[in-house]
Structure 1
């Protein structure tokens, strides 16, 4: 059975064909509120999947676009997953689970299932989300920051500083304004990751793991002091796990 797994984020659409439990290749495209043309071209030549499983935080418009395409191409009704307060021994901290993004929930499911002990999940995209979970499955909650580009754009929009495309040199500081803004946005995201890692270690009584995901994960990895692991397909792996356990 071949499934098409789809993670619709605020900016990007990530998808993969799951032919086995663990092996799939992720493709990424900006969606702008609909299924983009390059993805349509790829999907048009696919062997029809048996199921289309979707996690969507990108809004109703792109979700409806996916629904129309799935009907037209394969006669399939997409299956949109939603957050549950409890999943196996994972327990969400939010009083209203529906206010937790389904992408964060799927990442928590995969992290808890695949890593022993406490885990800090950092998903760096349009926004940067941080979620803390103990080894017994208790979700402690999380934090959210603007993503790197959003942080830079909001600063430039509120000042007279001209936009200068620049990336950090690897140091925590810079010697010109554009580079200083670039360094500051990366260091802010990384510093909160390190701080939450320390707090989670104290809460758990042992060193936790840290998993990095999202489109900007590689931009912050070198700035984080704590040990961390890149898992770019964390949400899709969580989606695949949910489907397997429900089947």
Structure 2
């Protein structure tokens, strides 16, 4: 089995693939102070809890935007799963060409999403990842990562809101029944959710106009992406497993 690991700023998302089938998908918080033993034991424990024998894992691939944890995480994988993981970088053979001014600064997660998005679209695509940051990536018809927009994530914006304003409480992010809020919490929820919907629709429209890819297929992923995708017609598909599938596709390409 192949274990795919997506290391984000907030969570580490993992998926255990048996071919194209994904029998197990789970998350753990991203903590920089974990030791290699803590990573290894936690991963093995979660796998066993999901009914997956860690001994079945014979390959691991990782994409990370948190360099500080990589030494401990990689060491934990080697020690406990007895396999050396493949690390995705901008220089990896992913099948996606990064056509930006500084390709080496492109986040591995964005490259992985581009691989999975292009596989789905089979042509021009816009991939939106609603994470700690909300990223909009433009993939051209030939599989080239051409441009990006990076905005604060919905939850990041929310923490800034209630962290910087003494009278505003921390809230659960969800769409209120109406945009015409009559209390503070609903007003904050409306501002965050409806604001994100409006941002998404405007950015997607401008990306299509300026690129000339009017028929670009728009794919969303990320935890809060489901809320936004349900409320706008500019998103064609919501795929929560996009990054993990991208990692699987890259591993299959490298392992050929």
Across the two proteins, how many residue pairs are aligned to each other? 244
Matches within 5 A, 1:183-222: 183-202=190-209, 203-222=211-230
Aligned equivalent of 1:124, options 113, 117, 130: 130
* 1:82-127 Cα shifts (integer Å, max 9, x gaps): 0139854x33232211211100000001111221332111111111
Name 1:241's counterpart in structure 2: 249
SS at match of 1:7: strand
Contact 1:30 1:36 in 2 (8 A): no
TM norm structure 2:
0.84
Name 1:30's counterpart in structure 2: 29
SS at match of 2:169: coil
What is the CA-CA distance between 1:239 and the residue it aligns to?
1.0
Query: Given the alignment of the two structures, is residue 52 of structure 1 paired with residue 60 of structure 2, yes or no?
Result: yes
TM norm structure 1:
0.87
Aligned equivalent of 1:100, options 97, 100, 106: 106
Q: Which runs of 5 or more residues in structure 1 are unaligned? A: none
SS at match of 1:171: coil
Aligned equivalent of 2:88, options 64, 81, 85: 81
The more displaced of 215-224 and 19-28 is 19-28
Contact 2:128 2:135 in 1 (8 A): yes
Compared CA separation, residues 186 and 235, structure 1 to 2 (3 A): same
SS at match of 2:151: strand
Contact 2:40 2:76 in 1 (8 A): no
Aligned equivalents of 1:12, 1:219: Cα separation in 2: 19
What is the CA-CA distance between 1:244 and the residue it aligns to?
1.0
Q: Which runs of 5 or more residues in structure 2 are unaligned? A: none
Contact 1:128 1:145 in 2 (8 A): yes
SS at match of 1:76: coil
Compared CA separation, residues 134 and 173, structure 1 to 2 (3 A): farther
SS at match of 1:25: strand
Aligned equivalents of 1:143, 1:159: Cα separation in 2: 27
Name 1:114's counterpart in structure 2: 120
SS at match of 1:136: coil
Aligned equivalents of 2:18, 2:5: Cα separation in 1: 14
Contact 1:82 1:102 in 2 (8 A): yes
Name 1:6's counterpart in structure 2: 5
Contact 1:126 1:147 in 2 (8 A): yes
SS at match of 1:243: helix
What is the CA-CA distance between 1:137 and the residue it aligns to?
2.3
Query: Given the alignment of the two structures, is residue 39 of structure 1 paired with residue 38 of structure 2, yes or no?
Result: no
SS at match of 2:156: helix
What is the CA-CA distance between 1:179 and the residue it aligns to?
1.7
CA RMSD, 1 decimal = 2.4
